[in-house]
Structure 1
Amino acid sequence: MAKFLREPPSVRLAASVIVTATALVVVGGGTLIRLLDHSEYSSIWVGMWWALQTVTTVGYGDVTPRHASGRLVAAVVMLEGIAFLAIITAAITSSFVARAEREQAVAEGLDEAALEERLNARFDDLTVRFERLEAMIAEDKR
């Protein structure tokens, strides 16, 4: 985790951290909802099915928590699901922006090289003209 916080993460690393965290929330939420609201959730698998629906914001509604403790777990799982979608969207968007910036930098680099080449050619032309003028002035002085 320290490495993740020190260096800017790649999209792949960020996605793997998010997926791992989400899987842990699904397993933990499914287990916890089964323990706290066992009348509605007949098994841990039903609890995990509910947690998966909730964290992905699908929410079929086939199972819902009835007790306050189950609803508290549901709130945490829902907030993690919303955060998951927001972070994935941000990661995808930032990768598109980074790619566009790289492409623009390459294009500008080519433009700068062409501009520098044109300026150098112009300076060479001015140097030749200046040398001719100096030669003409030197001849007139003789």
Structure 2
Amino acid sequence: MFKLSLVERRFAAFMRTPLSVRAAMAVIVSATVVSVLAGGILIRIVDPEEFPDVGTGLWWALQTVTTVGYGDVVPEKAVGRVVGALFMLEAIAFVAIVTAAITSSFVERARQERAAGADAQQHAEADPIAAQLADLKAQLTRIERLLEHARSTPPNS
């Protein structure tokens, strides 16, 4: 049987439960932190001359993932530039996808709340109409009985 990894289980739970703004921000910040940590460590490994310590790599990754790009620390070697290009694409896409999933969750919740409100309003409007129809039916039944009684009673001469 296929067993889900911790990340897959967390993501599935994340997609099932409605998000609060606080939880959404926590997810976006976490996605950004994970991207910065991965990118900072990776650039330190592939270009140790330009990035003599992990702190410098993290600074570069933070500038890159947030698209600030001060330019004070940049990879000079070809392999560092390739890693930088891939990191930019991956990190920006990753944060954008997480943000899109959160936005989708908020939009779906708003749609469900609107639908529930419309249903409640429709029921509220339908109840008085149903009561009025029941009253009309009772009145028609009384009228039919009176008419039936009038037909069965001989006229007074």
TM-score (norm 1): 0.78
Q: Which moved more, 1:65-74 or 1:31-40?
A: 31-40
Return the TM-score normalized by structure 2.
0.72
- Report the Cα offset of residue 103 of structure 1: 3.4
8 Å contact kept, 1:57–1:81: no
Once residues 25 and 31 of structure 1 are traced to their aligned partners in structure 2, the CA distance between those partners, rounded to angstroms, is 10
Of 63, 69, 84 in structure 2, the residue corresponding to residue 53 of structure 1 is 63
2:89 aligns with 79
1:8-47 to 2 correspondences below 5 Å: 8-10=15-17, 11=19, 12=23, 16=27, 19-47=29-57
Whether the 8 Å contact between 1:53 and 1:59 is mirrored in structure 2 is yes
How far apart are the structure 2 equivalents of 1:79 and 1:98? 28
Contact 2:40 2:58 in 1 (8 A): yes
- By how many angstroms is 1:67 displaced? 0.8
Matched with 2:133 is 123
1:98 Cα deviation from its structure 2 partner: 3.0
* Cα distance change on mapping 1:97 and 1:67 into 2, 3 Å: same
Matched, 1:3 2:13: no
One-letter identity of the residue aligned with 2:56: V
Aligned counterparts of 2:47 and 2:12: Cα–Cα separation in 1:
40
Contact 1:15–1:88, Cα closer than 8 Å, also in 2: no
What is the count of residue pairs matched by the alignment? 141
- Indicate the percent of aligned positions where both proteins have the same amino acid: 44
SS at match of 1:105: helix
